[in-house]
Amino acid sequence: LEINGAGTLKPTVANVEKVTLDATGALTLAMDNAKDVSELNIKGDKGAVTVVNSNISSLNFLSTAEGTNAVTIDSENLATINYKAGTEAAEIKGNLTATKATNLTVNTDALANITSTGATITANSATSMSLNINAEKTAQSLKLSATKLKDLAVVNKSVDGFTIKGDANSLDALSNLNVTTDGKFSFDTITGLAGVSTVTLSGANDKSAVTLGDLGSDKVTQGIALNASGLKGGLEVGNTVTKGSININLNAMSGDAKLGAANSITDNLSISVNGVEGKFETQALKAAASTTVSLTNIKGASTIAFLNGATTSLSIENTGDVTISNASSALEGDFSINANNANGLTTGVITANKGAISINANGVSAISVGNLSAKSSITLNAGDASTSVKAGDIAADSVNVDLSKVLGTTTVGKITSDNIIYKASELSADTEGKIALASKGNIQNFKAEVTGSLGDDKIELTTAATTSSVTLSGDLGVGNDTVDINETSAVDALKTVNLSGLTNYATSTTKLKAAANDTLTFNGGSGDDSVEVSGTAIASLKVIGDFGGGNLDKLTLGTNTTAITGADSAVTIDITKVTNVDSTEINFTNTATDMSSNALTIKGSESNDQ
């Protein structure tokens, strides 16, 4: 049955399922007496067409249709909209308002091309919609208004792309988006999907790509999951924000992947990238709970603006260069990086003020990390880096740095801690010419175990105002290795130094400062040890200890330029408990006016005392 005309019509039709309309002007079709009609063809809509009280389930826009005025259908049964071409490819125009339809499927056939200026779907009662674009060439676009839409599935076969246009926030109710595309899919003027919870994207064609705006917002609470695969033409997504959890999985992607910032305001953030042929890039990653990132089998470079979470972890496996551009942190717990077989790893500053930092690498050619600061511990294991390892200053209660298998050069800043294990590269010393250590002073007793290189290792240790004892141990290996403790100036609190567990060093120099009545202890190692003691207003000074196995060990109490100053009382200097020292030099002065009552008593050692 074909209806041609305008005005208001109320046909009585029985046993007819298909009707073709050719509206020569505005046409209202009341289908009260045509309930058997389930399919409607639009052949012409020179005026607006309104169909009421129908059971229509299928609407076809035909290639012969003239005019682009709106077709309005109030059927709750409306389920399918087809854009149909004839025998040749053509643009098919159709402007539909479906006032009551809740579940819609929109199809274009292989020869039908649609553009957003000629194809519009308004379905503000619809909660579910499928868009099937079957034209394989020519860019396709559709204007869509569906403010209650929850589920949207898109299958696009056009290699030249498919775009959905609409008002900025018109899809904020959308919960699930599923896109399979052979060309580039994108939203235009629809700036974000605030209510989305699941996004699934895929495409196998060389031109398959997806560009999305923001997902979620800072006001929503749902979890957001983004899954993408294929997409040889690339993926680009705006910011992802929610109070719920965020899970992003990019798997077997052939093109580049670019993500905006991701922020789980009250929950966890997880990103897993496995098998990206191109580059991976993301802006700042934040979570109130854990932030977890896994990068695996990425051929191109990976760039992360920064990582931030209560706890934070990054795992790397078989990748190109990986860069964390800016300062990152774990706010409540630990920060960890585990990297295997990567071209390079670069980070900015990393902090874990309430936890630990661990960086473990193997098969990573070049490593460069910024300053590392943690509460409890820091572990830096560089593995067999073949090019270079660079690290900024390192500070924590306990620090373990292992560069022993590094094949390239090493450069490490000052390590500040009260418990240090440091293993230099077996092949070469630090490029700065020193191993700079400092006590943190949280506890009184400082200890460090140092393993040296084949080069000339120089330990430079400075102690905090609260550190009272120092223990250095380890094997510094071959080379002209030296140890300096408080080389610039002595520190009042330091009273005990133990180098007895330190081997294969050439010389050590230690500066100590005595109080008025004091006992200082020094135990040397295998090298030539030199200890210089200063002090003022000394009444009683005792030095004890075994200087160890060196050949030119020396104890100096005061110097030619800065002698020890005695108190205005009887002064005793006792070095009888000093052993294995090769020479002792004492430079003493006293401002007392009557030395007969303020005598100096010196109890010498078994060495050559001067």
What is the domain partition of the chain in residue ranges?
Answer: 433-609
Please give the Cα distance from 76 to 224 (Å, whole number).
31
DSSP 285: E
| Nearest C-alpha neighbor of 139 from the set 186, 178, 105, 171 | 186
Backbone angles phi, psi at 297, to 5 degrees: 55, 55
pLDDT interval class at 597 (50, 70, 90): low
pLDDT at 594: 57
pLDDT interval class at 7 (50, 70, 90): confident
Beta-carbon contacts of residue 403 (< 8 Å; ≥ 6 apart): 382, 389, 410, 412, 423, 424, 425
186-235: per-residue pLDDT in tens?
A: 999 998 999 999 999 999 999 999 999 999 999 999 999 999 999 999 99
Please give the Cα distance from 131 to 141 (Å, whole number).
11
pLDDT at 70: 83
540-586: per-residue pLDDT in tens?
A: 999 999 999 889 999 999 988 888 988 877 789 999 999 999 999 99
pLDDT at 304: 98
Tokens of 426: 């077996």
Tokens of 503: 């081997």
pLDDT interval class at 37 (50, 70, 90): confident
CA angle 93, 97, 102 (to 5 degrees): 120
Beta-carbon contacts of residue 203 (< 8 Å; ≥ 6 apart): 179, 180, 181, 182, 185, 209, 210, 230, 231, 232, 233
Give the number of C-alpha atoms closer than 13 A to the C-alpha of residue 270, restricted to the C-beta side. 11
pLDDT interval class at 606 (50, 70, 90): low
- What is the reported pTM? 0.91
Please give the Cα distance from 62 to 481 (Å, whole number).
89
pLDDT at 68: 64
| Nearest C-alpha neighbor of 535 from the set 492, 578, 591 | 492
Q: Is the pLDDT of residue 604 over 90?
A: no
294-312: per-residue pLDDT in tens?
A: 999 999 999 999 999 999 9
Contact, 231 vs 254, CB < 8 A? yes
440-480: per-residue pLDDT in tens?
A: 999 999 999 999 999 999 999 999 999 999 999 999 999 99
Classify residue 477 as left (phi > 0), alpha (psi -120 to 50) or beta: left
Cα distances from 150 to residues 194, 196, 198, 239, 469, in angstroms, run 12, 8, 11, 20, 68
Please give the Cα distance from 278 to 262 (Å, whole number).
21
Tokens of 500: 């007895």
114-132: per-residue pLDDT in tens?
A: 999 889 999 999 999 999 9
